[in-house]
Structure 1
Amino acid sequence: MDPRDTAVLLPQPSGDQGGNGSFDCAEESAHYAFSVQLLLTQYAALVPWQTEGVAELGSGDARAIAHVVRAVPGLTVHGTDISAASVERARRTIDDLGVGDRYTVELGDFFAWADSPEGARTSTVIANPPYIPAPDGDILMPELWGGWYGNDLVLRLLKAGFDHLLVALPSYSDPAATLAAAGELGYRVANFLAMGLEFGAYSSEPKVAEHIARLTAEGHGWAGEGSYVVAVALLTRSPEAPRDRSTELLRALQLSV
């Protein structure tokens, strides 16, 4: 299937800036959704989503992935989120788009689910995890905190043992350390899509912006004048991956290699 035949078209943003505990960035959501769609369809021979489905770490309001499920016949997604409010919104989104037969979201700890028999039968995870770097979680939207370097949850996901990860990697959240850890665990970058984004309200919060400036000055990532790059990458442990594009990915994230 050519992904251009079923391109993801997201609705206009709701205007929600996190007042009810949700994050809404139309550009990032569209980039994430299309990237997941393209990577899954282009690498269907490598990633067994058609027979196993995929798991999702942190479904949020499900807007992005619900549109992917609607666009890609045969795709099933099992999402998990620790926020009851997010799960409620996700289920409404899924119902509104009519994909409830192929997309489910449950309340709970993803990593506990990963250790369950169902989790053991799934080899592919998609995730756009919290990645705001800050000294602590006392920020405008604590749900977006990704630890000191912003990559805490990605590093934990790498260690969970899944064979295929489609994950968002921002340029200011120490992506070089993330990819080094991935390589040590046997992952290769099959491919990726990168996009430049402007700092939003959460990245621009003085406490966060100052921390990002310190991290990037120390070589733990890259950020421009109020901008950064996010890549959605397919990391795989499959020996069938034709090449490792880790170096290309770091260059796309504006890092020297």
Structure 2
Amino acid sequence: MVSTILPLLPPQESYDLYCEPAVGGGAVFHAKEPSPVEVINDLDGRVVNFYRMVKSQYDLLDKLIKQTPHSRHAHKEAEHVLKNQDLYSNVKIAWAFWVQTNMSFASCIFGGFAYARKKNSCEKKMFNKRQAFDKNYASRLELVQIEQEDMLKVIRSRDSERSFFYVDPPYFNSECGHYKGYTKEQFVNLLTTLAGIKGKFLLSSYASDVLQEHTDINGWDNIKKIMPIAVSHKVKRDKVEVLTANYPISNLAA
């Protein structure tokens, strides 16, 4: 979805502060040009620890990642580390987070080990991920504020007419993986918060009645994409991914 999302972002010169209040893997953050002020946030301490270790212990973390093959053994070891964090260093926990999110089925922590039957697509993906984890990845974080806070609090505290928020929360109407527990009520609270901000936002979510209701009430713009979602190694199911904004985006969609 990154290639779809990037053209929908407002012009760089139209905002000073860029914020991802639910950064997760940060695919959009790492793909876009830096902004004068940048904030990334995630309530999951494992996510925040990973970014902090990238920022402060890059060389050691890079060594661990580069020497890790795409293997079930590494996947199981990483699971053990994340389930027994008090026994390991923050760098080892960051390595385990990287392994679990990149080697697990559907990128879910504690998900099954991902593999392919006909093509070596998983191995190629891991090779590319290892290569992408370079000095530029680390230097990208040097001037970034890293938060571990409720996303609504982060949005309110960073809001201004010159702020832009890319919001990719857990999807309440899906299997949330390691973000299980995100509710419809929390999503409604997010929509209510976004309706009241001074800045601009772009929201990623699945289609839902409550999203449509808030879109109609607030006059937001949106585009829809049919996305095949893997539910098992053999089965894929189509879901409607919706990108919603409080500025015009329909004319920007390819």
Pairwise TM-score range, normalised by the shorter structure = 0.5 to 0.7
What is the Cα-based RMSD across aligned positions, in Å? Answer: 3.7
- 3-state secondary structure, aligned to 1:115: helix
Structure 2 residue runs of 5 or longer lacking an equivalent are 59-134
The Cα of 1:142 is off from its aligned counterpart by 5.8
Task: Give the greater-gyration-radius structure (CA).
Answer: 2
User: What TM-score do the two structures reach when normalised by structure 2?
Assistant: 0.53
Aligned counterpart in structure 2 of residue 133 of structure 1, from 134, 150, 173 = 173
**Structure 2 contact 15–163 (Cα < 8 Å) conserved:** no
- CA gap of 1:195–1:76, structure 2 versus 1, over 3 A, is farther
What is the alpha-carbon distance in structure 2 between the residues aligned to residue 133 and residue 53 of structure 1? 30
What is the alpha-carbon distance in structure 1 between the residues aligned to residue 211 and residue 161 of structure 2? 25
Cross-structure match for 1:194:
225
Structure 1 residue runs of 5 or longer lacking an equivalent are 1-30, 205-224, 250-257
In terms of fraction of residues, the more helix-rich structure is 2
Aligned counterpart in structure 2 of residue 85 of structure 1, from 46, 49, 56 = 46
Cross-structure match for 2:8:
39
- Cα deviation, 1:70-90, whole Å, max 9, x if unaligned, reads xx2547531121122111113
User: What TM-score do the two structures reach when normalised by structure 1?
Assistant: 0.52
- 3-state secondary structure, aligned to 1:226: strand
What is the alpha-carbon distance in structure 1 between the residues aligned to residue 240 and residue 186 of structure 2? 14
Identity of aligned residues (%): 13
**Structure 1 contact 52–121 (Cα < 8 Å) conserved:** no
- CA gap of 1:90–1:242, structure 2 versus 1, over 3 A, is closer
The Cα of 1:34 is off from its aligned counterpart by 2.3
Cross-structure match for 1:67:
30
Letter in 1 for 2:24: G
Cross-structure match for 1:9:
none
**Structure 2 contact 228–238 (Cα < 8 Å) conserved:** yes
**Structure 1 contact 114–120 (Cα < 8 Å) conserved:** no
- Cα deviation, 1:133-178, whole Å, max 9, x if unaligned, reads 27xxxx773624442589446424434424422111213xx1x431
- CA gap of 1:107–1:243, structure 2 versus 1, over 3 A, is closer
**Structure 1 contact 57–110 (Cα < 8 Å) conserved:** yes
Cross-structure match for 1:235:
245
**Structure 2 contact 188–210 (Cα < 8 Å) conserved:** no
Letter in 2 for 1:105: I
- CA gap of 1:229–1:182, structure 2 versus 1, over 3 A, is closer
The Cα of 1:195 is off from its aligned counterpart by 4.2
**Structure 2 contact 161–199 (Cα < 8 Å) conserved:** no
- The count of residues paired between Structure 1 and Structure 2 equals 171
- Cα deviation, 1:47-81, whole Å, max 9, x if unaligned, reads x665412211211233x034213xx2547531121
